Amino acid sequence: MHRLLKRQLKKADFNQQVLDQIHLFLDQVNDAYNAFDNDLCHVETVLEKSSQELYQANQRLKNNVESVTSQLSKVANNIKEVIFEIDLDGNWFYLNSAWETLTGHKVKDTLGKPYHTFLVDQEGESVQKLIDFNSQKFSSRNKKFQSLTKDKKTIWVDFSVKRIKSKDGAIEGYIGTIVDITHLKEVEVALIDAKEKATSANKAKDDFLSTMSHEIRTPLNAVVGISHLLLMEDPKKEQLENLNALKFSSEHLLELVSDILDFNKITSGSMELEDADFDLENMLNGIQSIFSNKSREKNIRFIIKKDNLLPKIVKGDNTRLKQILANLINNAIKFTEKGKVVLDVEMISESEEAHIINFEITDTGIGIPEDKIDKIFNSFSQAGSDTTRKYGGTGLGLAICKKLLEIMDSELKVISTLGRGSTFSFSLQLEKSEIHESEVDNLNNYHRFEPLTEDLQSVKVLVAEDNKLNRLVIKKFLTNWNIDFDIAYDGEMALEKAENNCYGLILMDLQMPKMNGFDASLAIRNTDNPLNKVVPIYALTASTGIDINHKIEEYGMNGIICKPFDPEELYSTLVKIISKTKVNQKVTA
Ligand code: ADP
């Protein structure tokens, strides 16, 4: 009988008769007890087993966590960047061992100390405001600081920090990284240094070229001017040849100086393109008249084929387009002994705002060897070693054309067959002009030494020029053109004259003794004579420094006339300025 049932019966103390009566019932209770015992025993075994499994799982988990932690710590301690955690009080809470390598401070000596103890800003002040504990907007910061190492060396660090937030949004601390950027900073400083040196070297080159250009152009102005004057003075037949050679050589020298200056301007990125209305048809006519003479001298034909759809007026840089065309046509004529040179100008397409026009210069000349085609666009490069001796030139023309066209978003192309000839071509997008055809004449200002009207003769011009030869040249021109003038030898004298006279135009050399042209112009603008506020002051200068346009504006001048000047150009410019002045004066009166 089950021990528990036995104990219950003993406690109940039934007599035998009762026991006999409940005998069947007791057997059932006994079976129930035994069954319960069996179940219990089974549950205990199951529990025991589960508990063992639980223990093992726990153990495995523990091992895993330990292994992951050790892996993490291995990773954290093996990366070069410092990983850190800062607590809510702003004290270092965790740092990997990169901290020791970076700063020389022991991690254990650092933990618990305020984070800013080890960081200084660019002025060497402690960085206290990196983490603004009160700011709600703070999410992450990425800043560059200097950090002080244990041996008092300064290193540059990139410090980035982020808030750690719990699921319910409470801030639990800050984590981040510190990266050593000392090397990067050194490279940056070296680059800045190199750039400054390059800029100052470039400036020195620019200054040198501009001074050189002034120095060369000033005497050239006299040579070109005097050769023009002598040719105008009806020379004898035998003198004519010499004078023409003199004029040609001085103009050639001038071209060389201009090419070198242009090339410098383009390569230094300071070439500014004009965007003004110009008469394309008139420009092409000008080219026709210049090059017809040249080609006739060589007994070859020069033909311009104009598409009848070409617009008359367009917008763009007239001077530079003319320069490119002149360069290419000049080469074509130079390298052609017989046959013809053709400039073909064709309208390719037209949009609402612009025309696309193709320019093609074909010659029947010597052609270019295939292996030299790429070379000829390089500066100072010619196809043959004897080109300079045979044909002259510097090898700069095509390099300038190519670069100018690049600035204009175009490309210079060439096809050539040795012994047969070459074709140079490019397409330009030229904006449509908004001016009316009736205004076209004003654009052309072509006055070619027509006698001045009486009205224009009444205007007096002041010329400030310190160079004796240049004074002689301009005096002769102005006298020839019947223009009344005064001469000042320096800036001070120009100011004095402007104070006491009424001039319709002032031509001002820039580099002069006592007072230079800039200061003299500014001083003239500030005199009491009200006419001096409006009188056109033009810089008559051989300088072509790249900032000259801005400078003349700053000093109150209205424009530049470049020396050496082409007499025709000077004449038409003077007429244009004087007519404008007259109109203005009439309006003011
Ligand atoms: P330059 O004409 O002053 O020598 P360019 O840069 O204008 O310099 O031309 C470079 C070289 O390209 C020339 O020296 C010449 O060898 C070659 N070249 C240019 N245009 C032509 C042409 N139309 N026919 C043959 N060769 C040419």
**CA gap 404, 167 in Å, rounded:** 63
| Residue 466 pLDDT | 87
Cα(538)–Cα(552) distance, integer angstroms: 9
CA 491, CA 505: separation in Å to the nearest integer? 15
CA of residue 80 to ligand 1 center, whole Å: 59
Task: Say yes or no: 47 and 124 in one domain.
Answer: no
Instruction: Let me know if residue 249 belongs to a domain.
Output: no
* CA–centroid distance for 327 within its chain: 28
- Please state, in angstroms and rounded to a whole number, the distance separating the CA atoms of residues 64 and 472: 101
- Residue 589 has a pLDDT of 45
Maximum C-alpha span of the chain: 177
Residues 34, 48 within the same domain = yes
Are 307 and 437 found together in one domain?
Answer: yes
Relative to the CA of 394, which ligand 1 atom is closest? 3
Residue 391: closest CA among 412, 366, 408: 366
Give the distance (Å) from ligand 1 centre to CA of residue 25: 131
Q: Whose CA is nearest to atom 8 of ligand 1?
A: 395
Ligand 1, pocket residues at CB < 6 Å: 331-332, 335, 363, 365-368, 376, 382-384, 387, 393-399, 422
What's the full length of the chain, in residues?
589
Pocket test for ligand 1, best of 330, 333, 338, 368 (most atoms within 8 A of CB): 368
Distance 183 CA to ligand 1 centre (A): 49
DSSP state of 413: E
Q: Whose CA is nearest to atom 11 of ligand 1?
A: 382
The answer to whether the CB of 421 falls within 8 A of the CB of 367 is: yes
Does a structural domain hold residue 97?
Answer: yes
pTM over 0.75, yes/no? no
Identify which of 334, 387, 405 to mutate to test ligand 1's pocket (most ligand atoms within 8 A of the CB): 387
| Residue 543, pLDDT score | 65
State residue 242's pLDDT score.
75
Final residue before a domain boundary, out of 180, 199, 216: 180
Do residues 434 and 303 share a domain? yes
CATH of the domain at 345: 3.30.565.10
Considering its fold, how many domains does the chain have in total?
Answer: 4
Residue 169 pLDDT:
81
The ligand 1 atom nearest the CA atom of 366: 25
Measured CA to CA, the distance from residue 402 to residue 400 in angstroms comes to 5
Distance 366 CA to ligand 1 centre (A): 10
Q: How far is CA 197 from CA 191, 208, 211, 231, 236, in A?
A: 10, 16, 21, 49, 57
For residue 556, the domain's CATH number is 3.40.50.2300
CA of 368 to the centre of ligand 1 (A): 8
So what's the pLDDT on residue 344?
A: 96
Determine the distance separating the centroid of ligand 1 and the alpha carbon of 219, expressed in angstroms.
Answer: 29
Residues 407 and 485 occupy one common structural domain: no
Query: What is the Cα–Cα distance from 108 to 506, expressed in whole angstroms?
Result: 81
In a domain, 247, yes or no: no
Q: Tell me which residues of the chain have a pLDDT lower than 50.
A: 139-140, 445-449, 454, 586-589
Cα-based torsion angle of the residue sequence 524, 526, 530, 533 in order, rounded to the nearest 10 degrees: 70
Alpha helices in 236-374 (DSSP H): 237-267, 280-297, 318-334
Whether residue 246 is contained in a domain is answered as no
**DSSP assignment string, 549-571:** HHHHHHTT--EEEESSPPHHHHH
Alpha-helical runs (H) found in 501-566? 517-525, 548-554
**Domain assignment of residue 206, yes or no:** yes
Domain edge (last residue) among 58, 74, 90: 74
pLDDT at 471: 85
Residues 262 and 278 in one domain: no
What pLDDT, in 10s, does the model give residues 461-490?
A: 899 998 887 888 888 888 888 888 899 999
Task: Specify the pLDDT at position 112.
Answer: 92
Give the model's pLDDT for residue 183. Answer: 85
Query: What amino acid is encoded at 299 in this protein?
Result: N
- Å from CA of 279 to ligand 1 middle: 29
Tell me whether residue 253 is in a domain.
no
Is 434 found in the same domain as 285?
A: yes
Ligand 1 atom, smallest distance to 395 CA: 8
Answer with the one of 413, 446, 479 that is the final residue of a domain. Answer: 446
Residue 315 and residue 227 in one domain: no
Q: Please give the pLDDT value at position 102.
A: 84
Measured in Å, residue 332 CA sits from the centre of ligand 1 at 8
**CATH number, position 140:** 3.30.450.20
> For position 137, what pLDDT does the model report?
54
Tell the residue nearest (CA) to atom 21 of ligand 1.
Answer: 331
Q: What is the pLDDT of residue 263?
A: 79
SS3 433: coil
| Residue nearest ligand 1's atom 22 by CA | 332
Structure tokens at 578: 């004087």
What secondary structure letter does DSSP report for 114? Answer: B
Q: Are 403 and 338 in contact (CB under 8 A)?
A: no
**Ligand 1 centroid vs 302 CA: distance in angstroms?**
18
Comparing CA positions, the residue from 258, 322, 332 lying closest to residue 294 is 332
Q: Is residue 133 part of a domain?
A: yes
Hey, is 306 helix, strand or coil?
strand
576 with 441, same domain: the answer is no
418 and 512 fall within a common domain: no
**Which of 376, 378, 379, 389 gets mutated to test ligand 1 (max ligand atoms within 8 A of its CB)?**
376
Which pLDDT score is estimated for 439? 61
How far, in Å, from the CA of 269 to the mean position of ligand 1? Answer: 24
Residue whose Cα lies nearest atom 23 of ligand 1: it is 332
**Is the domain of 436 the same as that of 293?**
yes
Ligand 1 mean position to 395 CA, how many Å?
Answer: 7
Q: Would you state the pLDDT for residue 69?
A: 83
User: Which residue range is the domain that position 389 belongs to?
Assistant: 273-446
Write down the pLDDT at residue 240: 77
Instruction: Say if 44 falls within a structural domain.
Output: yes
E strand map for 18-139: 82-86, 92-95, 119-120
From 1, 163, 144, 184, select the one nearest 86 (Cα to Cα).
Answer: 163
Does residue 496 sit in the same domain as residue 424? no
